[in-house]
Structure formats: C-alpha cells, structure tokens
Structure 1
Amino acid sequence: MTLLRRFLRSPEGTIGLVILAALFIAGLLAPIISPGDPLRIAGRALLPPFSDPGLPLGTDRLGRDVLAGLLHGARTSLAVGIAAALSAMVLGLFVGMAAGFAGGLVDETLMRVADAFQIVPGFLLALAFVSTIGVSTPVVVFAIALGTWADPARLTRAQVLSIRERDYVSAARVIGMHPAEIAFKEILPNALPPVLALSATIVAGAILTEAALSFLGLGNPNLATWGSMIAEGRSVLRSAAYLSVLPGLTLAVTVVGVHLFSEGLTKVLGSDGGSR
C-alpha cells in the first residue's frame, strides 16, 4: 500500500495509470458496448462521425463500425503488448540470471547471443519472423518477444553481477545455501525492480510493433487492430481522414500512457531501492 501511495503522488504515474485503466475498461467492456463481430458490416459505407446515434464514430469503406474497431482493437493491442512483454521479460530474466550468476564461459556465450539479437532492429526481426512462419497472434507475440528480450537480459545480468558480491550473498554461501536457492531467494528479488520498470517500455514498444505489423498486413486478419484500421484509411485519407486519425490518436495516447506509467514506476522503485 505504501508503494501505491508513493506511485499515486507521482503526477505522471497517476496520469498514465488513469489512461491505462480507461483502456483496460474499454477493452473489457467492448463485447458489451459493441457486441458481435467488430469486422461485420454495420451500416452504410463511409458514414461520417456523429451522423448516426447508433454509429457514433461512423463507418469505414466497407461499412464497419469504427467505434467497435477501436474498442476491440484495444483488447488486441493490450493483449499482444502485455503477452509479448511478459515473454520477453521471462526470457530476459532467465538469460540474465544465468549469465550473471554463472559467469565465465556461460556469461560470455549468452551475452554474445544477446549481442546478435541486438544488432538486428526488433521490428525487422519481427517482420522477418512473421513473414517466414506465418500470421497468427501467438506468432506475432513470439516475434515481438524475440526482438526485445536482450535488453532485460543485459539489465538483469548487470544487477546480478552487482548483487552477487554483497555481504548477505556471501553469508548465504557460507551457511551452505544451494546456488539455485541463493539465485532465486537472495539475488532475484533485489535485481527485479529495475527490470520491472523496463517492462512498461517493452509493452509500449510491443504495441507499436504489433500496430506496424498489422499496418503492413501481417497482423491476424480475423481480429480488429488499430494498425489495420490505420492502413484501411490510407486510400481515403483526403475524404475520410477520421478512419486513420482516430486509431492513430488512440495508439498515440496508449503509448504515452504506458510511458507515463513507466516514469512513475521507475521513480517509486528507484526511491524504494534507495531507501533500502
């Protein structure tokens, strides 16, 4: 509760939390607010916003409800972003812990693998992976995680290298604790806060990457996504700019919300670490 109070005292953290909470609620309530398939034909094509009470944000070129697309797109973007970030964090923590705790040849080998993944931009790696394997939500999640795990791995390794030399870790070795027990009970809890702060940035990057893949036609075609909505509006940008502007603004607000949430989380975890 103390951490939550400190987080809410941070203006950027509070604003980010409000934005993300609104998006989560919108995504959860999407089947209630806009029931049925968001990709179905709902009315006349290119109906402008606020011209029909039943379709408040209008329709696209095929007559699909723009509001339904935005709401269901929130579910898709948040689910893909969180799942990809979680996968990247788990892989990065495992690799970073193994490299930092084992040291020597294991450390050198794992860090060279991380270097190899960091050389290639994450989006290009995801693009190549999805183009090769095929388009589906699990493939998109794995492709995004594949391009982002190296940063948490390096940060975890740096934290582990610092923590493993501290007195309480040496004391744990002296009393005969198993190396795995030392790693997961003594080192990991203290190495975790900076990595958790990084996770919000990974979520934002994952949401942008998913939108970019959908924009290029490499997202799941059976799901409403903000990237595909932006791409859909390109051909009528002059006459119906709202088709690209609305999902674009929603995407921008989401990324800003995640960034602000990350800033607040970094301050709280940083001050908590400093107090210890």
Structure 2
Amino acid sequence: MSRFRRLLSTPEGVAGLAILAVLLLAALSAPIVSPGDPLRIAGRALLPPFADPAFPLGTDRLGRDVLAGLIYGARTSLAVGLAAAFSAMILGVCVGMAAGFAGGIVDEALMRVVDAFQIVPGFLLALAFVSTIGVSTPVVVLAIALGAWADPARLTRAQVLAIREQDYVASARVIGMHPVEIAFREILPNALPPVLALSATIVAGAILTEAALSFLGLGNPNIATWGSMIAEGRSVLRSAAYLSVIPGAALAVTVLGVHLFSEGLVNALGDDGGRTA
C-alpha cells in the first residue's frame, strides 16, 4: 500500500486533505470569483453578511468586499506558509545532514548555532527581523523560516546519526562509494520521512506567524491578509464583529486542516517505519 493510500486510510488525513483542498481551490479561483484588486472600495461601508447578493460576506469599514479579502487572504496564507516551510526545511535538512554526517567539530559548531536559534522564540525572531529589515512578502517568508529551521536541523541530525551506523551504510563504504554519494543516496532518503512529517507543523506555525505580523501592521500592506482583516475589525468589534470573526474562523480552520493532515501524515509514515532501510 502506498503512503498516499495509507494517508487516505486515516480519518485525520482525509479531513485535513479535504480542508486544504477547499482552501487551495478557493485560493486558485480568487481571480475568477473576485477579479480585480481585493483592496478596492467595492460598495457601501459596513454592509452586513447576506444583506446584498453582490457581497455575500458583507463589506468592511471602507466598503471593501470581505469575501474577496478572505479568498485572496487564503492565497497569501498558503503561499507564505508553504514558502517559509520549504525554506526552513531546506536549510534545516542541509545543516542537519552536514552536522550528522561530518561529526566532530563541524557537528559541535553547527549544533551550537542551532541552539542559539532555538533559544529565541520564533515569533520574536520574526518580529525583530521584519522590524529591522522592512516589510515585504519575501522578508516575512525569510523571517519565519529563520525561526523555524532549527527543529528540522536537529531532527535530521538525529536521524543521520542513527542511520549512518546501519549495515547497508557500512557496506556502501566498503565498496568504495563516495561519502557524498552515501549521504544523498543511502542516508538522506531514509532520514527524510520523519522530517517531512514535521513540515506540516511548520506550515501551520508559519501561517499563524504571518497572521500575527499582519495583525501588528508588519505584513505586506499591498496584499490582502487574514491578520490585517482581523486587525481592521477591532475598532468596530461591537457593531460589526463579523469583520474579525470571519477571517479568524478561516485562520482557525486552516491551521486545524494542516494539523489534521500532519497527524495523518505521521500515521502513514509511521506505518512504513522500519521498511525503508
């Protein structure tokens, strides 16, 4: 049974995939559902949900379409989350591979760097980085990745340290296989599954961090984000709570979907444990 079929055999995996599929469909269909700039003034201000068929979720204080902001915000959240997780995974896997495979002083030096990044909470590191460098989407992605790469690095190192002592790795050394070839052909494929399972958690954390930065006014002001929508609704929370509740619910559902997918992925990879080697 393939890993994907094992993922679909778990309730968590199915639920997570369903939620993420709906979000991805909404993000991809954003230009069709709401063409044009989602930040443009489209109608009367503070129009409540379902009061006008043209604005199913109402409008905000400036008359911007809440539905447009919601679906374009999904694009932002997914894009930032996936990009930050990918960057963090690449950096973490490379550092973990180098530390675990090289050993000795290289391992000690790299692990002290990892320790230094793990001491600082990821959100505080991202907040300081964005505040110092400036606000833009690439900077936000890099800031989130800098706060998230240490865990994949440590997990990759632990996997490499265990796998490099296996008999098939010793056999590869005996037949004269180059160390780099051993690292990428024999060790890395077997070390990746647990690290990949961690990537879903990093995506969820990245989405929350991006929303928190946007809520504080440190996100890209030229694009629609759920964090900025929640912040926009604070001043009219008593009279128009939907302005904060709708994007807040979307954020909660997205993180829930990612965590459910992560649980299903862990179960699917766990069922395969011990057979990849």
**TM-score range normalised by the length of the shorter chain:** over 0.9
How many residue pairs match? The answer is: 276
1:42-81 correspondence to structure 2 within 5 Å? 42-81=42-81
Aligned pairs for 1:4-43 within 5 A: 4-43=4-43
TM-score, scaled relative to structure 2: 0.99
- What is the identity, as a one-letter code, of the residue corresponding to 2:73? G
SS at match of 1:54: coil
CA–CA separation in structure 2 for the residues paired with 1:63 and 1:226: 17
**Which amino acid counterpart does residue 207 of structure 1 have in structure 2?**
I
- Describe the superposition over 1:163-190 as per-residue Cα deviations: whole angstroms up to 9, x where unpaired: 0000000000000111000000000000
In the alignment, the residues of structure 2 paired with residue 212 and residue 254 of structure 1 have an alpha-carbon distance, to the nearest angstrom, of: 15
Instruction: Quote the Cα distance in structure 2 between the aligned partners of 1:166 and 1:202.
Output: 29
TM-fit CA distance, 1:275: 4.1
Amino acid at match of 2:250: T
For residues 222 and 239 of structure 1, what CA distance do their matches in structure 2 show?
A: 27
The reply on whether 1:86 has 2:49 as its aligned counterpart is no
The 3-state SS of whatever aligns with 1:255 is helix
Q: Matches of 2:54 and 2:225 in 1, distance apart?
A: 21
> What is the identity percentage for the equivalent residue pairs of Structure 1 and Structure 2?
83
What is the distance in 1 between the residues matched to 2:274 and 2:34? 47
Instruction: Name the residue aligned to 2:229.
Output: 229
User: For residue 166 of structure 1, what is the aligned residue in structure 2?
Assistant: 166
Letter in 2 for 1:174: V
1:115 equivalent in alignment to 2:115: yes
**1 CA distance for matches of 2:169 and 2:274?**
19
In the TM superposition, what is the alpha-carbon distance from 1:6 to its structure 2 partner? 1.2
Gaps (5+ residues) in structure 2?
A: none
Deviation string 1:39-79 (CA, Å, 9 cap, x unpaired) is: 00010000000000000000000000000000000000000
Aligned to 2:141: 141
Partner of 1:219: 219
Greater displacement, 266-275 / 43-52: 266-275
**What do you get for the CA RMSD once the two structures are aligned?**
0.7
Q: Which residue of 2 aligns with 1:128?
A: 128
Task: Give the secondary-structure state (helix, strand or coil) at the position aligned to 1:52.
Answer: coil
- Could you tell me which residue of structure 1 aligns to residue 2 of structure 2? 2
Question: 2 CA distance for matches of 1:180 and 1:271?
Answer: 29
Whole-angstrom CA distance in 1 between matches of 2:145 and 2:2: 32
Q: 2:87 is matched by which residue type in structure 1?
A: S
CA deviation profile, 1:237-260 (whole Å, cap 9, x unmatched): 000000000000000000000000
Give a deviation string over 1:186-219, Cα, whole Å, max 9, x none: 0000000000000000000000000000000000
Secondary structure at the aligned position of 2:40 is classed as: coil
Tell me the amino acid that sits aligned with residue 221 of structure 2.
P
Equivalent position amino acid for 2:59 in 1: T
Letter in 2 for 1:31: P
CA distance in 2, matches of 1:262, 1:144: 19
Q: Does 1:188 align with 2:188?
A: yes
SS at match of 2:37: coil
For 2:217 and 2:163, the matched residues in 1 are separated by: 45
* Structure 1 runs, 4 residues or longer, greater than 6 Å off: none
Distance 1:274 1:173 in 2: 22
Structure 1: runs of 5 or more not aligned: none
Q: Supply the distance in 2 between the matched residues of 1:274 and 1:44 (Cα, whole angstroms).
A: 61
Distance (whole Å) between structure 2 residues aligned to residue 5 and residue 197 of structure 1? 16
| Alignment TM-score, normalising by the size of structure 1 | 0.99
